Amino acid sequence: MKRDPEVGSTANVEMIVRDEDTAAALGPVSGDSYPAVLATTRAIALCELAAGKILVPLQSPGELSVGVVVEVKHTAATPVGALAKATARYTGRDGKLFAFEVVVEDPGGECMRGVHKRAVIEEKRLLEGARKRGP
């Protein structure tokens, strides 16, 4: 990392919820039935992308950031066709981790809030570790 982000820095990521972004799309994995609303996992992904966006310009060549901790409350359902917007705000370091307050909003207001922490690592090291675990 060239330097740490400024505390209070923010970034946003938004998307229109599609059928493939819903909990219902995950049903075939478990064989269970879920509603056609924004999946918690997809909302978390938006939070990760928003937080990562803050770190990207500060990373050195060969570095990337990865999600390590996610603690969120998903408090409202977002329907297909609605705009979901994640905002991450950098709150400082937690040891080696970069900490963020994350919020997801839709046209009805806030639907998710929590904390997300990321680590900055060498991409080469990450891929070598993944290869050791893979088929």
Instruction: Specify the amino acid at residue 62.
Output: G
What is the reported pTM?
0.94
Tens-place pLDDT, residues 61-73:
999 999 999 999 9
Domain ranges (residues) in the chain: 10-133
Tens-place pLDDT, residues 2-48:
899 999 999 999 999 999 999 999 999 989 999 999 999 999 999 99
Tens-place pLDDT, residues 100-127:
999 999 999 999 999 999 999 999 999 9
- CATH architecture for segment(s) 10-133: Roll (3.10)
- CB 75 within 8 Å of CB 112: yes
The per-residue pLDDT for 2 is: 87
The edge-to-edge listing of strands for the beta sheet with 109-122 is 10-16, 83-94, 97-106, 109-122, 63-74
